[in-house]
Amino acid sequence: MIPSFWSEPFLWIHLAGIAAFPIWLGIVLLSLAIANPLLPAWLEFSLIAVIGIVPVLWMQLVKPFNIFCILVVALKPEVLTVEQRKILSLFKRPLERVGAIAAPLFLLLVLWQIYRIAPLALGISSLAPSRRIAGLLVAGVAFMLSNLFFQIPLSVLGVLLTKESAFATTEPYPVEKISADFTIAGFQVDRILPRKLSPKTPS
C-alpha cells in the first residue's frame, strides 16, 4: 500500500533535485581545471571542502531546509496542512541528522577524486578565467550547491521511506516554531502550486 503522504508534490519536486547534483560536480571539475595549483593540494582541497560542506551541514543539523518552497517563493507556515506539518516533523528526526553527517563524508571522497582528475580537463576549460583563485572560489560554491542538491533529496528520500503507521503517529510541527526551526527560502506566499496539485489548506 502506498503511503498517503506520497501524494505531497513538494516531496517529489525536491527529490527530483538530485538531477542537478552531477551538473554542479561537473562545474567543480571545470573550475579546478583552471590553471595550475597555487597552493598545496591539501590546502586547496580543504578550502573547497569547508566552503562546500560547512554551510549546508549547519543548516541541515540546526535549521533543516523547509521543502515547501520552489525557487524564490515559500508557503507561509500558517497555511501548511496538518499532513505537511507532520512531514516537517520527520525532517527533525535523529535519522535525518545521521544522514546529514554521513552525506558529507561521501562527498569528500567524491571531491578528492574530482580534484585528482581535474588536470585532465585543462583543455575543456580553456575559455574559463585563468586565475586559479577564481577557480577555487567557483569550485567551492559549486561544491556547496552540489552538497545542497544531494542532502535535500537524501532527506526527502528518508521521509518517503517512512512507514504509514509511523507517519500516522507523528505530531504535526507547531506552526509558531516553523520559522525559527527551519530554513525558509524565498518570499512567503499563500499558494505556490495550482489548486489541483496543491493539498487543501486548512480553513
**pTM score of the predicted model:** 0.87
Provide the grid cell at 117. Answer: 582528475
Contact present, 47 and 123 (Cβ < 8 Å): no
- Rounded to a whole number, what is the distance in angstroms from the first to the last CA of the chain? 29
Q: In what order do the strands lie in the sheet with 73-75?
A: 69-70, 73-75, 187-189
List, for the chain, all residue ranges whose pLDDT scores fall below the cut of 50: 128-129, 196-198, 200-203
**Predicted local distance difference test score (pLDDT) of residue 2:** 84
Instruction: Report the SS3 class of residue 14.
Output: helix
Q: How far apart are CA 145 and CA 136, in angstroms?
A: 14
113 closest CA partner among 177, 48, 163: 48
For 106-160, the pLDDT digits (tens) are 999 999 999 998 887 765 555 544 578 888 999 999 999 999 999 999 999 999 9
Q: Where does the chain show beta strands of DSSP type E?
A: 69-70, 73-75, 187-189
**Predicted local distance difference test score (pLDDT) of residue 80:** 95
90 closest CA partner among 190, 19, 6: 6
**Predicted local distance difference test score (pLDDT) of residue 179:** 94
**How are the residues of the chain apportioned to helix, strand and coil, as percentages rounded to the nearest 5?**
65, 5, 30
Percentage above 70 pLDDT, the chain? 91
**Predicted local distance difference test score (pLDDT) of residue 195:** 61
